[in-house]
Chain A
Amino acid sequence: SYVLTQPPSVSVAPGKTARITCGGNNVGSKSVHWYQQKPGQAPVLVIYYDSDRPSGIPERFSGSNSGNTATLTISRVEAGDEADYYCQVWDSDPDHYVFGAGTKVTVL
């Protein structure tokens, strides 16, 4: 079955840029979605269809997807961005959904 690979952790200073990668075989041919999950809370969709932002998500969150790597970029990182981030795709054979293992973003 399809596998998505994320780094376990990313550390970033406030005001800097965090980049979280999500690797998968030809993931560029799929639509990648990203979720933010803070401790004790349900996940929140922050990027869908590779690079679209739901209403209410700051413009500091952006996404890209090409080749074997999708990337979630958080610009001008704030303390409130500290959370776990998961990438996710839908796979058709068979019909199922795959999450990456998650990346813990720490704001220094």
Chain B
Amino acid sequence: EVQLVESGGGLIQPGGSLRLSCAVSGFTVSSKFMNWVRQAPGKGLQWVSVIHNGGSAYYADSVKGRFTISRDNSKNTLYLQMHSLRAEDTAIYYCAREYTSGEFDYWGQGTLVSVSS
């Protein structure tokens, strides 16, 4: 059974750093494109980042240079390292598996990041 379980969210001051984790089971994290998608309170879905099975990574303009996506194959876990956090980064962060070509077939339950002083 495929499962994605996020952790690492919390309350952080502006300018701070946080690392989110997404523990994967039921498949190998390095075998699929893996994504982070966020949702600000009361707002829609916003794609954040993807890491390809070959290791290439891409980012939304709003997080480029501040966020880094990575994975640990030995732990079968996806990460999102976030630096220089801003109030507008406040959101539920979901990890999502990309099945073949752009569609996200499995999602985690999300972890809430709140950036506030």
Which residues of A are in contact with B by a Cβ distance under 8 Å? 1, 31, 33, 35, 37, 42-45, 48-49, 54, 84, 86, 88-90, 94-102
Q: How many A-B residue pairs have CB under 8 A?
A: 61
Q: Are A43 and B102 in contact (CB under 8 A)?
A: no
Q: Number of B interface residues, CB 8 Å? A: 21
Main secondary structure of the interface of A (DSSP, over half): strand
- For B39-51 the 0/1 string (1 means CB < 8 A from A) is 0000011110010
Binding site for A on B (CB under 8 A): 35, 37, 44-47, 50, 58, 60-61, 94, 99, 101-105, 107-110
Q: Which of A54, A90, A100 contacts B105 (CB 8 A)?
A: A54
**Assuming A42-B110, A102-B44, is B102 touching A96 (CB within 8 A)?**
no
Is B102's CB under 8 angstroms from A86's CB?
no
Q: For the complex, give the distance between the alpha carbons of A97 and B103 in Å.
A: 10
Partner of B47, one of A42, A54, A96, A102: A96
Contact B58–A95 (Cβ < 8 Å): yes
